[in-house]
Structure 1
Amino acid sequence: MSASTESASSPALSTLRRVFGYPAFRGEQQAIVEHVSEGGDALVLMPTGGGKSLCYQIPSLIRSGCGIVVSPLIALMQDQVSALKLLGVRAAFLNSTLPPEHASVIERELLEGELDLLYVAPERLTTPRFLQLLAQAKIALFAIDEAHCVSQWGHDFRPDYIQLSVLHERFPGIPRIALTATADQATRGEIVERLALQQARVFLASFDRPNIRYTVVEKDNPRRQLLRFIRASHDGDSGIVYCLSRKKVEETAKWLREQGLSALPYHAGFDAATREAHQTKFIRGDGIIMVATIAFGMGIDKPDVRFVAHLDLPKSLEAYYQETGRAGRDGLPSNAWMAYGLQDMVLQREMIEQSQAPDEIKRVERQKLDALLGYCEAPSCRRQVLLRYFGEDSEPCGNCDMCLSPPETWDAAEAVQKALSTIYRSGQRYGAGHIIDILRGRETPKVKERGHENLSTFGLGSAIGDAQWSSLLRQCVATGLIGVNEHGGLILLEACRPVLRGEQGLQLRRVRDTHAAAPSVRREIEFGSDEERALWAALRQCRRQLAEENNVPAYMIFGDVTLKQMLDLRPQSLEAMLDLTGVGERKLALYGTDFLAVLQQR
Structure 2
Amino acid sequence: MTAPDFAPAHNDASQVLRRVFGYDDFREGQQEIIEHVVDGGDALVLMPTGGGKSLCYQIPALVRKGTGVVISPLIALMQDQVDALRALGVRAGFLNSTLDFDTQRVVEAEFRAGEMDLLYLAPERLRLESAQRLLDAADVSLFAIDEAHCVSQWGHDFRPDYLALSALHERWPDVPRIALTATATPATHAEIATRLRLDDARHFVASFDRPNIQYRIAPKNEPKRQLLDLLRTEHPGDAGIVYCLSRSSVEKIAAFLVDNGITALPYHAGLDAGVRAANQSRFLREEGVVIVATIAFGMGIDKPDVRFVAHLDLPKSVEGYYQETGRAGRDGLPSTAWLAYGLQDVVQLRKLIDTSEGDDAHRRLQGRHLDSMLALCETVECRRVQLLAYFGQEGKPCGNCDTCLTPPESWDGTVAAQKVLSAVYRLDRERRQRFGAGHVIDILTGKKTPKVIQFDHDALSVFGVGEDLSAGEWRGVVRQLLARGLLAVQPEHGTLALTEESAAVLRREREVPMRREPERRAPKTKPAKAAAAAAVAELSEEAAATFEKLRGWRSATAKEQGVPPYVVFHDKTLREIATVLPATLGELGSISGVGENKLAKYGQQILDTLTG
TM-score by length of 2: 0.82
Per the alignment, residue 556 of structure 2 pairs with none
The equivalent of 2:307 in structure 1 is 306
Q: How does 1:22-421 map to 2 (within 5 A)?
A: 22-421=23-422
Measured against aligned partners, the alpha-carbon deviations of 1:251-277 in whole angstroms (never above 9, x if no partner) come to 111111111111111112222221122
Any idea what SS the aligned residue of 1:410 has? strand
Could you say which residue in structure 1 is the equivalent of 2:501? 495
Q: Which moved more, 1:498-507 or 1:184-193?
A: 498-507
SS in 2 for 1:76: helix
What letter corresponds to residue 455 of structure 1 in structure 2?
L
Give me the whole-angstrom Cα distance separating, in 1, the residues matched to 2:58 and 2:243. 31
Secondary structure (helix, strand or coil) at the match of 1:426 reads: helix
**Aligned pair 1:474/2:474, yes or no?**
no
Which of 460, 467, 470 in structure 2 is aligned with 1:462? 467
**Structure 1 contact 311–339 (Cα < 8 Å) conserved:** yes
- Deviation for aligned residue 1:114: 1.3
Match of 1:507 in 2: 513
Report what 1:435 is aligned to.
440
* Amino acid in structure 2 at the alignment position of 1:447: V
* CA displacement at 1:279 relative to structure 2: 1.4
Query: Cα distance, 1:420 vs. partner?
Result: 1.1
CA 270–8 in structure 1, closer or farther in 2 if over 3 Å, else same: closer
Farther off after superposition, 168-177 or 422-431: 422-431
Deviations 1:289-336 (A, max 9, x none): 111111111111111111000011112111110110111110011100
The 1-side partners of 2:82 and 2:291 are apart by 24
Q: Look up the match of 1:20.
A: 21
8 Å contact from structure 2 (residues 406, 524) kept in 1: no
Q: Which structure 1 segments of 5+ residues have no match?
A: 1-6, 529-602
Task: State the distance in 2 between where 1:186 and 1:376 align.
Answer: 22
Secondary structure of residue in 2 paired with 1:494? coil
Contact 1:217-1:514 at 8 Å conserved across structures: no
Number of the residue aligned with 1:560: none
- 1:24 aligned counterpart, secondary structure: coil
Could you give the per-residue CA deviations for residues 371-425 of structure 1, whole angstroms, max 9, x where no partner exists? 0011111111111111110001111111111110011222221111101111122
- 1:192-216, Cα deviation, whole Å (9 max, x unpaired): 1111111011111100000000111
Aligned residues: 522
Deviation (angstroms), 1:351: 2.0
Percent identity over the alignment is 59
How far apart in 2 are the matches of 1:9 and 1:68? Answer: 20
**Contact 2:208-2:388 at 8 Å conserved across structures:** yes
- Partner deviation per Cα, 1:93-125 (whole Å, 9 max, x = no partner): 001100122112211222221111100000001
Distance 1:259 1:389, change over 3 A: same
The amino acid that maps onto 1:493 is: T
Kindly state the Cα deviation for residue 517 of structure 1 after the two structures are TM-superposed: 7.9
Structure 1 residue 515: Cα displacement: 8.1
1:149, 1:270 → 2: CA distance?
24
Between the aligned partners of 2:53 and 2:288, the Cα distance in structure 1 is 27
Given the superposition, is the C-alpha separation of residues 140 and 9 from structure 1 closer, same or farther in structure 2, using an over 3 Å criterion?
A: closer
Asked if structure 1 preserves the Cα contact closer than 8 Å seen for 2:406 and 2:518, the reply is no
Gaps of 5+ in 2: 1-7, 541-612
Output the CA distance in 2 between the equivalents of 1:371 and 1:123.
Answer: 33
Using CA pairs below 8 Å that are at least 6 residues apart, which structure has the higher relative contact order? 2
Task: Name 1:446's counterpart in structure 2.
Answer: 451
Q: Is the 8 A contact 2:9 2:63 kept in 1?
A: no
Partners of 2:13 and 2:34 within 8 A in 1? yes
Would the aligned equivalents of 2:379 and 2:515 in 1 still touch at CA under 8 Å? no
One-letter amino acid matched to 2:451: K
Q: Give 1:522 shift.
A: 4.7
* SS of corresponding position for 2:501: helix
In structure 2, C-alpha distance between the alignment counterparts of 1:429 and 1:355, rounded to whole Å: 22
Closer/same/farther in 2, CA of residues 342 and 30 from structure 1, 3 Å limit: same
Verify the 8 A CA contact 1:229 1:517 in the aligned structure 2.
no
State the alpha-carbon separation in 2 of the partners of residues 9 and 394 from structure 1: 41
**Partner SS state of residue 338, structure 1:** strand
TM-score calculated relative to the size of structure 1: 0.83
Deviation at 1:527, TM superposition (A): 13
SS of aligned partner of 1:248? helix
TM-superposed deviation, 1:246: 1.3
Once the two structures are TM-superposed, the CA of residue 9 in structure 1 deviates from its matched residue by 11
* Cα-to-partner distance string for 1:49-78 (whole Å, 9 max, x where unaligned): 111000000111111111110000123311
Mapped partners of 1:140, 1:454: distance in 2: 78
Cα deviation, residue 498, structure 1:
2.9
- Counterpart CA distance in 1 for 2:248 and 2:200 is 47
Instruction: For 1:307, give the aligned amino acid.
Output: F
**Counterparts of 2:524 and 2:159, CA distance in 1:** 36
RMSD of the alignment, in Å?
2.1
On the 8 A contact 2:71/2:120 being kept in 1, the answer is: yes
Is the contact between residue 92 and residue 119 of structure 1 (CA under 8 Å) also seen in structure 2?
yes
User: Which amino acid in structure 2 is aligned with residue 521 of structure 1?
Assistant: P
Name the stretch that deviates more: 370-379 or 75-84.
75-84
Give the aligned residue type for 2:158.
F
Distance in 1 separating the partners of 2:167 and 2:175: 12
Give 1:516 deviation, angstroms: 7.0
For residues 237 and 311 of structure 1, what CA distance do their matches in structure 2 show?
18
Shift of 1:339: 0.4
Q: Please report how far the alpha carbon of residue 514 of structure 1 lies from its aligned counterpart in structure 2 after TM superposition.
A: 5.7
CA distance in 2, matches of 1:165, 1:334: 37
Moved more, 25-34 or 286-295: 286-295
